[in-house]
């Protein structure tokens, strides 16, 4: 999610996960995690439990999946959705102080979470603490400077990207910093790749990226002038193309 203030965050996350770009991204994330039967996995910032079922299937038999989220509403939704799924637990907790013992996890994941936390380095130190030797972290985070929208007025596209990156998302450029942050907490980086979904349908892009909503906010905040609302409608009316950049990093406890 671009920001924490979507009107219905659960519906928003469901829409992202169900979209074609979301599915492609999540499949790649799961593949990079290399889950095996018996693994203990921690999904930090699990949201409404979006991927807990898929992870549980990949670590069965004998595995455990622990979802952690700081938002009690997300925890409640995840618990109710995963009730009855063997091997899944959902905990209320903060990424900066995970409610889990040292060295218990084979795998840890963040999917669009470090972009929101107060201190990504501290959250990664927690990941390091909780992983066992040989354990792997998969960090999937955006870099919002990489949001590009085709437009007859590219300067307005640049200014919208700048508004989102500087005013809306707390750690908007965390994607490019993940490898360095991992090294800083003693995690050995094994791979870094980018994932750049190409969106060719305005409706999908508006749902995933909140384009109209963020243009309205930028106008209210004085970062774009009133004409920007007409501009985004013109963008919607012509053949559409937008892309944005996700970084997928795997790092291990050496």
Ligand X SMILES: C[S@@+](CC[C@H](N)C(=O)[O-])C[C@H]1O[C@@H](n2cnc3c(N)ncnc32)[C@H](O)[C@@H]1O
- Residue numbers at the binding site for ligand X (CB under 6 A): 1, 13, 17, 45-47, 50-51, 68-71, 74, 94-96, 111-113, 116-117
CB of 112 to ligand X, least distance (A): 4
Closer of 12 and 231 to ligand X (Cβ): 12
Closer of 23 and 196 to ligand X (Cβ): 23
Beta-sheet strands, E only, within the chain:
40-44, 64-69, 88-92, 105-111, 131-149, 188-195, 198-199, 242-252
Closer of 15 and 243 to ligand X (Cβ): 15
CB of 143 to ligand X, least distance (A): 15
CB of 77 to ligand X, least distance (A): 9
Between helix 202-209 and helix 9-18 the angle, nearest 10°, is: 140
CB of 6 to ligand X, least distance (A): 9
Closer of 170 and 200 to ligand X (Cβ): 170
Q: How far is CA 102 from the centre of its chain?
A: 24
Q: How far is CA 44 from the centre of its chain?
A: 10
Distance CA 92, CA 29 (A): 23
């Amino acid at each position: 999610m671009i920001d924490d203030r979507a009107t219905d965050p659960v519906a928003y996350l469901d829409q992202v996960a169900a979209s074609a770009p979301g599915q492609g991204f999540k499949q790649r994330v799961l593949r990079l995690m290399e889950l095996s039967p018996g693994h203990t996995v921690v999904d930090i910032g699990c949201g409404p439990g979006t991927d807990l079922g898929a992870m549980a299937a990949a670590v069965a038999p004998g595995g455990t999946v622990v979802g952690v989220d700081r938002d009690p509403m997300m925890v409640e939704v995840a618990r109710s959705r995963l009730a009855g799924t063997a091997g899944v637990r959902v905990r209320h907790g903060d990424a900066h102080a995970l409610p889990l013992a040292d060295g218990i996890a084979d795998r840890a994941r963040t999917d669009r979470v470090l972009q929101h936390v107060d201190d990504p380095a501290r959250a990664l130190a927690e990941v390091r603490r909780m992983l066992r030797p040989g354990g792997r972290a998969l960090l999937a985070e955006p870099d919002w400077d990489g949001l590009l929208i085709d437009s007859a007025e590219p300067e307005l596209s640049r200014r919208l990207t700048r508004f989102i990156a500087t005013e809306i998302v707390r750690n908007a450029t965390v994607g490019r910093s993940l490898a360095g942050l991992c090294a800083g907490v003693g995690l050995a980086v094994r791979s870094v790749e980018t994932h750049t979904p190409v969106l060719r349908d305005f409706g999908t892009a508006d749902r995933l990226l909140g384009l109209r909503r963020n243009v309205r906010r930028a106008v209210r905040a004085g970062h774009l002038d009133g004409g920007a609302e007409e501009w985004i409608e013109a963008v919607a009316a012509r053949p559409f193309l937008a892309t944005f950049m996700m970084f997928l990093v795997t790092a291990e406890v050496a």
